[in-house]
Amino acid sequence: MLSDQRSDLKGGDVNVTQSAIPSLGQHEVLMEASPYGIEKKKLGMWVFIVSDACTFGAFLFAYGYMRVGNPVWGTPFGVGSVVNGVVMTAVLLSSSFTMLAAVRASQTGAKPSTKKWLGITMLLGTIFAALHLKEWFSLIGEGWRLFYNPTGGAAQFGATFFSVTGLHLTHVVTGVIALAFIARGYNLGRYDESHVETAGLYWHFVDLVWMFVFPLMYLMNAH
């Protein structure tokens, strides 16, 4: 019980009025509800997504600036590349659906189902990454570099293409690894459906970014 304490400002506590606050058990704490009912992991992920969107935005702004400033750009993507890109898009979109299925399954407590859908999502993500790298290596084989455009157009093509898609690819690969950890933790009972849902948020974000990257960096540079 905290009693009244008197003194002046120069030392000691000032004259305040307090009374005993009933203390609860060690592990129960009454708090203000989270606005809109978003628990902290999910809120944290949303906040991260906002900042990551700004980072991608800055890269895309640089891409736009370079492209407008360098009219002779380079359009290396033929039918094959576009088809590859469409397949990649389909793969990533599907992986968002399988991720959704995983989240649903975890919310009903269906452990084997959750693991299955998480596994399929990881597989689809890996396929995406593999197709992506295949595209990269084919471009590199044709002579494209961060700093070199074999068609004689702006060298910024490579700089912007590889940096933007590279950043996205990093997010995909990181996502696959993170899903592996989530799946393992969920399996062991250390993580619950909120972890799966938070990971799902990230995964959908990565998919959403691709929906911008694909048209801006592939379709706009197709011939």
Partner 1 sequence: MPATSAHAAVHHGPPQGFIRKYVFSVDHKVIGIQYTTLSVVAAFIGMALSWAFRIHLGWPDAHIPLLGMLSKNGAPGGLMTPEYYLSLVTMHGTIMAFFVLTAAPMAGYGNYMLPIQVGAADMAFPRLNMASFWVTFVGFLLACATFFIPDGPPLSGWTAYAPLSAVGEVAGPGQGWGQNLWGLSIAIFCVASLLGALNFIVTTLDLRTKGMTMSRLPISTWAWFINAWVSLLAFAVLLPTCLLLVLDRLGGTSFFIPGGLVINDQMQPHSGGSPLLFQHLFWFFGHPEVYIIILPAFGIVSHIIPTFIRKPLVGGWKVITWAMVAIGTLSFIVWGHHMFVSGMSPYMAMVFSVPTLFITIPSVIATMVWLFSLYRANIRFDTPMLFSLGFISLFITGGIGGFFLAQPSTDSYLHATTFVVGHFHFTMGLSAIFGAFAGFYYWFPKMFGRMMNEKLGKVHFWLSFPLVYCVFMTMHLTGFAGAVRRYSALVDDFMAPLIPTNRFISVAALLLGATQFIFLFNAIWSRFRGPEAPNNPWGGTTLEWDTTSPPPFDNFGGRQITVYHGPMEYDGEASVMQTAPPAAVAGT
Query: x-or-dash pattern for partner 1, window 68-97, by CB under 8 A?
Result: -xx---------------------------
User: Among residues 123, 112, 117, which one has the least CA distance to residue 175?
Assistant: 123
* Residue 13 binds to partner 1 (criterion: CB under 8 A): yes
* Residue 152 binds to partner 1 (criterion: CB under 8 A): no
Q: Given candidates 91, 92, 139, 154, which one binds partner 1 under the rule CB under 8 A?
A: 154
Q: How many residues bind partner 1 (CB under 8 A)?
A: 58
The nearest distance, CB 44 to partner 1, in angstroms, is 5
CA distance 216 to 210: 10
CA distance 149 to 146: 8
222: left (phi over 0), alpha (psi -120 to 50) or beta: beta
User: Among residues 206, 207, 217, which one has the least CA distance to residue 161?
Assistant: 217
* Residue 50 binds to partner 1 (criterion: CB under 8 A): yes
User: Of 16-24, 113-121, 168-176, 190-198, which segment contacts partner 1 by CB under 8 A?
Assistant: 16-24
Q: State which of positions 23-42 bind partner 1 (CB under 8 A).
A: 23-24, 26-35, 37-40
Measured in whole angstroms, the distance separating CA 210 from the mean position of its chain's CA atoms is: 11
